Structure 1
Amino acid sequence: MHLKIRTKVLIGILFLFIEFLAIGIMSIYYFSSIKNSTELMIKNNYHSVQYAENMIQAIDDTHTTVASLFLNKLYHFDKNTLNGSLSKFEENLAKQEKNITEFGEKELSQSIHQMYLKYKSLVSAQRIDTISDKINFYTVNILPLYNEIKAKIFTISTLNMQAIVQKNDNLNQILNQSYKNLLIIITFCFLFTFSFMFNFPSYIAKPVNEITEKIKEIANKNYKSRINISGNNEFKELAEAFNYMAEKLEENCNQTKSVTTIKVEEKEIDENKVIENIQSLLKSVRILLDVISEQNKNDKLQQQFINIQGIEEELSNIIHQ
């Protein structure tokens, strides 16, 4: 497949455009990946940490009220306070159960849910009124369950905090890899662009310079000059046209020289014939004067005879030169 220079130029420009487009797309892709990773980390793990903190606060508020009910006989029970803290705990627990991201987090959430239901049943107002030894009941049943719930909530929080650290490390790795990939792409594009900018002008200028030099040689009447350009493009076609022109000029020059030589020879032949005719005419005149001078003995005729004889000798010398 032979491509013309215009097509090659368009391909080169198109490739440069694709280079910059690829750099732009890769940059957008990598930065979008980083952005999505950051958003995912905040959306999942950070929210789980926030839910865990809210549940700890809610269970602490609940347990403060429960401890006062069991341990302080003078405590005035406020049902709304207890229900408010329980509702807050249940709300955040429900959000946590819908935001499972890490391995083992689902089991922990289910376990917290089951223990919370048990804890809620133990601290209900109806149950407290029926307990005779409230301190012992609190120490044996409620306090260990409260501590276990808090421990599991802390485990969820720790699990998600560790995930945040891990994802942050992964994010740094993605950043480093993105920088490396972009650097490789930019380096490749720079090298190709530099090579294109350095070589393509030479690709155009070299045959142009060669054609220019050959035209100068033709202008100096060196019709044997020819252009040798490889490939199949416009320069090759131009070189073939130039060589055809030079060949025709050389043929015309050779024909012109041949015609000129023939004309010069013909001119010499014609001049010799004229001289011979003049010589023959002079010879006839000389013979006539010789006859007349012998009969009349005239000095002037004798002198003319001598003059004609001299001219005749000069013409003879010209012919034999």
Structure 2
Amino acid sequence: MRLKTKLSIGIGFLFIAILISGILGILSIHVMKNDARLILEDNYETLVYSNNMLKLLDKLLEDPTGVQLFEKNLKQQEANITEPGEAAATAAVREMFEQLKRSPGNDSIRSVIRQKIYLINTANQQAILRKNNVAEMNAKTFSNWLMVIFGLLTLVAFTLAVNFPGIISEPVKALSDGIKAIVNKDYSKRIQLSQHDEFGDLAQAFNIMAGKLDEYEHSNLAKIKFEKSRIDTIINQMNDGIIGLDENRRLLFMNKVAEKLLGLKETEIMGQYAPDIALHNDLMRNLLQDHDKEKELKIYADQKESYFHLDIFNVNNNEKVIGQVIVLRNITPFHELNEAKTNFIATISHELKTPIASIKMSAQLLSDSRVGGMNKEQEELTKSINDDADRLLKITSELLNMSQVETGHIQLKIQPVLPGVIINNAIDTVSVPAQQKKISLLVKDNSSHEKILTDPEKTTWVLTNFLTNAIKYSPEDGEILLSTAVFENMVRFTVQDHGRGIDEKYLPRIFDRYFKVPGSTDKQGTGLGLSISREFIEAQGGQIWVDSKPGEGSTFGFSLPKQ
């Protein structure tokens, strides 16, 4: 039977029980009301009329209105004849009353009338008694029937009240327990309901779902375990150290390389809180510190100092961080190659300086008139040799400076120096190329004789590089402004030209190594000058910047701390 049918039967029965109880109650009340009405309207009223006539019978001679009253009650009695024999007695009273009106003093007629009235009273009293017995029997009968029906309805209602909630609650509880088991991944849970209703259908659907989930769980478990084993093997074969943490920063896994770097075994610290491990492990503490997600670390490993690049990746699920993976990539071979390259460049640059200097000196001797005269073509060749030697010297100088930067061995000789000294040295160095392009060099030294703490040689090199670039990209007969200014505890140097300027999109990369602005006509530069300038200035605790707009020129500047 369907649940809807059960509910309909239960609620329908209660409705019918209420309806039957109401109908029987109304019917019994109606019957008793009719019985009472018959007694009151018929017999009781006759008794009233008869008693009135008996009282008036003795006063007919004394009271002139007595005859009228008697006549009135007699007419009412004649209209209310309901019992057997009552009609004959009433007719006799009428006949005797008519005679009495003609002979008022006849006592025998009064006696006959009184007897007939007594007959009427007796008949109605007997009728009242009989009807009262009938009313009592009817009331008793209805009462018994109501008690029987009420008892049956109460028994059935009690049975429904006891059993019907269980029909609803027990399947709901069974389904609730089953759902909780599924939530806890207990896919073996089944619901056994024998009833063939909506709950039975729901239980059957639940069991099918649980069976499918159980089948899916077991069918994929072996595959998942195999994939995990394969991933563990791949991770352990990698040369990089890999550490996995959950959302609560507890250790999930760690490969062999990470074990060697940390000096810990995965089985010993599995599931532990990473900050607790860091209390006794310097490397773990360094890995967990708040820093950029990419960082280079120097770690003693494999009996030597090794270099590792730190990468920290957040593992996200639905935009929520559920863990972290820490990767230590071994970049020691790249460091070794880079160091070898730097040493090679430094060695070659140093070795080239001597022959280049000899070539330059020989070119100068050839151009000396005391050695001998040269024709115009020879002078041009000598000049070309001299220019190429200067360019090679500049390149080797930049390469040597870059080798210092890359090895981190920038040798600084910090001392208090007046900005004017650095300005004069730089102006003297670039005066010849400036005169060749007829460029005016304007100087505004607003440093008020404040001394700066700097390496004058390297700072002069930077300022010279700025001026050289300004001259190179300024039009002939142009103007370059070199100025200084004091801001708080810093002295700022700026070089402003009115050349073609630099597009805004290239400004962030202008100080990168080997970067050249696309479209530049300079084919001789190495792209290292500005990068070395930044390293020199920042090594001295200063700042360097550029501001430029296409068609309006460029302004390069740096600031250094005051004494």
TM-score by length of 1: 0.60
- 1:60-107 C-alpha deviation (Å, 9 max, x unpaired): 323xx3xxxxxxxxxxxx8xx45x332222211110111122122223
- 1:11-37 C-alpha deviation (Å, 9 max, x unpaired): 534543553454344334323433332
> Shift of residue 45 of structure 1?
0.9
Residue number in structure 2 paired with 1:101: 82
Equivalenced residues, count = 231
Counterpart amino acid of residue 173 in structure 1: M
SS for the counterpart of 1:245 is: helix
Residue number in structure 1 paired with 2:25: 27
> Shift of residue 231 of structure 1?
4.0
Counterpart amino acid of residue 204 in structure 2: E
Report the Cα distance in structure 2 between the residues aligned to 1:228 and 1:114, rounded to whole angstroms.
94
> Shift of residue 218 of structure 1?
4.2
Residue number in structure 2 paired with 1:127: none
Residue number in structure 1 paired with 2:51: 53
> Shift of residue 51 of structure 1?
0.7
Residue number in structure 1 paired with 2:193: 229
Counterpart amino acid of residue 239 in structure 1: A
Contact 2:3/2:199 (8 A) holds in 1 = no
* 1:175 matches 2:173: no
Residue number in structure 1 paired with 2:67: 86
Residue number in structure 2 paired with 1:296: none
Residue number in structure 2 paired with 1:157: 121
Contact 2:77/2:90 (8 A) holds in 1 = yes
- 1:187-222 C-alpha deviation (Å, 9 max, x unpaired): 233223322221111111222233234445545655
Report the Cα distance in structure 1 between the residues aligned to 2:24 and 2:31, rounded to whole angstroms.
10
Comparing both structures, which one devotes a greater share of its residues to helix?
Answer: 1
Residue number in structure 1 paired with 2:152: 188
Residue number in structure 1 paired with 2:101: 120
TM-score by length of 2: 0.36
Structure ranking higher on relative contact order (CA contacts 8 Å, 6+ apart): 1
Report the Cα distance in structure 2 between the residues aligned to 1:204 and 1:109, rounded to whole angstroms.
74
Task: Decide which moves more: 95-104 or 160-169.
Answer: 160-169
Sequence identity percentage: 34
* 1:249 matches 2:216: no
Report the Cα distance in structure 2 between the residues aligned to 1:255 and 1:217, rounded to whole angstroms.
20
Report the Cα distance in structure 1 between the residues aligned to 2:195 and 2:163, rounded to whole angstroms.
16
- 1:143-189 C-alpha deviation (Å, 9 max, x unpaired): 44332221111010111112222222233333333332332333233
Which consecutive residues of structure 1, in runs of 5 or more, have no partner in the other structure? 66-77, 125-137, 272-321
Report the Cα distance in structure 1 between the residues aligned to 2:188 and 2:88, rounded to whole angstroms.
95
Comparing both structures, which one devotes a greater share of its residues to strand?
Answer: 2
Counterpart amino acid of residue 191 in structure 1: L
Report the Cα distance in structure 2 between the residues aligned to 1:219 and 1:89, rounded to whole angstroms.
99
Report the Cα distance in structure 2 between the residues aligned to 1:47 and 1:35, rounded to whole angstroms.
17
Which residue of 26, 38, 44 corresponds with 2:36? 38
SS for the counterpart of 1:101 is: coil
RMSD of aligned C-alpha atoms?
3.3
Q: Which runs of 4+ in 1 moved over 6 A?
A: none
> Shift of residue 236 of structure 1?
2.0
Report the Cα distance in structure 1 between the residues aligned to 2:218 and 2:89, rounded to whole angstroms.
106
SS for the counterpart of 2:112 is: helix
Counterpart amino acid of residue 98 in structure 1: A
Report the Cα distance in structure 2 between the residues aligned to 1:155 and 1:247, rounded to whole angstroms.
96
Residue number in structure 2 paired with 1:300: none
> Shift of residue 243 of structure 1?
1.8
Report the Cα distance in structure 2 between the residues aligned to 1:191 and 1:96, rounded to whole angstroms.
53
